[in-house]
Amino acid sequence: MTKVVIRRAEGADAPSIHSLYKELVDNPEVSVSQERVATVSKDPRTVLLIAEVEGSAVGTALVSLCSDVMFQNQPFAVVENIIVTGPCRGFGVGASLMREIERYCLEGNCSKIMLLSSLERTDAHHFFEKTGFAGAVKKGFVKYRRQFEHG
């Protein structure tokens, strides 16, 4: 595979990100707008990454730095929506994304990087463990908006 280029997303990347997200989840409400991508790109504590091969977006990941008080001013990072398009898996695209995520988190002085992955995505779990994430150390919990109390 040709060289993988990792860069920050721009508003014009919205259609590519939208396509990648549709591959990640089967949810008709997925909607990625140019305006929202442009807004996120200006957030100093968030980075939306694009992985490109030969000028085509083949992967993406979102990283947010979260303020914390446990270790003075040291934030922690949350990684969301990591996806590499099916035909490009196994060629180093995901590893390149993860290296850039770690570089960003080191630069941000993060205490840790956290991510969640759907239970059925066992290939992704193996990949995350191969890149140094420990899946057996903590247990993640999620409560989606549709489950919030309405009162």
Q: What is the pLDDT of residues 81-140, one digit of tens each?
A: 999 999 999 999 999 999 999 999 999 999 999 999 999 999 999 999 999 999 999 989
Tracing tokens 């694009």 back to the chain, one arrives at 50
pLDDT given for residue 71 in this prediction? 87
Residue 151 has pLDDT above 60, yes or no: no
Strand partners, 113: 77
Angle at 115 between CA 113 and CA 35, to 5 degrees: 100
Q: Is the pLDDT of residue 149 over 90?
A: no
Residues 61-75, mean pLDDT to the nearest whole number:
94
Tally of domains within the chain: 1
Q: In a 10 Å sphere around its CB, with 0-12 CB exposed, 13-18 middle and 19+ buried, how is residue 108 labelled?
A: middle
- Residues 129-135: contacts with CB within 8 Å, 24+ apart? 131/94, 131/95, 131/98
Q: Higher pLDDT residue, 149 or 44?
A: 44
pLDDT of amino acid 1:
63
User: Residue 52: is its pLDDT beyond 60?
Assistant: yes
26 three-class SS: coil
Instruction: Give the 3-state secondary structure of residue 40.
Output: helix
Query: What's the mean per-residue pLDDT of the chain?
Result: 94
Report pLDDT digits (tens) over 33-45.
999 999 999 999 9
Q: Is 109 left (phi over 0), alpha (psi -120 to 50) or beta?
A: left
Range of the domain at 106: 4-147
Task: Work out the burial of residue 69: count CB atoms within 10 Å of its CB; fewer than 13 is exposed, 13-18 middle, 19 or more buried.
Answer: exposed
Residue 34's pLDDT is: 97
> Span 52-65, mean pLDDT?
97
> The domain that contains 78 carries what CATH number?
3.40.630.30
